[in-house]
Amino acid sequence: MSAVLALLMAAAPPMAIIDEADTVRREPTPHGAIGMSTAWRISDAVPRPRRMEFRRRTLDVGAAIGEHPIAHDEVYYVLEGEGEVVSDGQRARLTKGMTAYLYEGAVVGIWQKGDAPLALIVSYPVERKAP
């Protein structure tokens, strides 16, 4: 059997089921601690190895994930509220149901706007270490 065929036939790890209630915590926002947030670090509960991050975060009124460079593509999906996203100086308003797809190499951030907290899903690949 070829190595490629053996690899294709290898069993995948069993699925992981995570209850977000087991992952929730209050913490300052990442990349600058600009206010407080509630974080559901869902993918942290996945057994290793894992290849992606999947998190829910709610930014309190006035909070932001500060501008920071990213070394991977990243997605912000708005569940509730209103925000303003930035990528390399370009700004855009986001509301419920909108997504910002951000590209590797950009400097990005997102700010809560309006009277209600901003609830997001944030997802990106885990950086792979060289063997």
Mean pLDDT of 59-80: 97
Please report the pLDDT score of residue 10 as a whole number.
Answer: 72
Domains: count for the chain: 1
Average pLDDT of span 63-67:
97
For residue 129, pLDDT over 60 is answered with: no
Residue 12 has pLDDT above 70, yes or no: yes
- Rounded mean pLDDT of 111-118? 98
Count the alpha carbons within 13 Å of 102 in the hemisphere toward its beta carbon: 29
Tell whether 111 is covered by a domain.
yes
Is residue 4 domain-resident?
A: no
Does pLDDT of 130 surpass 70?
no
% of the chain at pLDDT higher than 70: 90
HEC sequence for 54-95: EEEEEECCCCEEEEEECCCCEEEEEEECEEEEEECCEEEEEE
The pTM of the full predicted model, rounded to 2 decimals, is 0.86
CATH number at residue 58: 2.60.120.10
109 falls within a domain: yes
| Average confidence (pLDDT) over 36-58 | 93
What percent of the chain has pLDDT above 90? 80
Q: Let me know if residue 66 belongs to a domain.
A: yes
Q: Which domain holds residue 113?
A: 20-125
The Cβ-side half-sphere exposure at 36, using a 13 Å CA radius, reads: 4
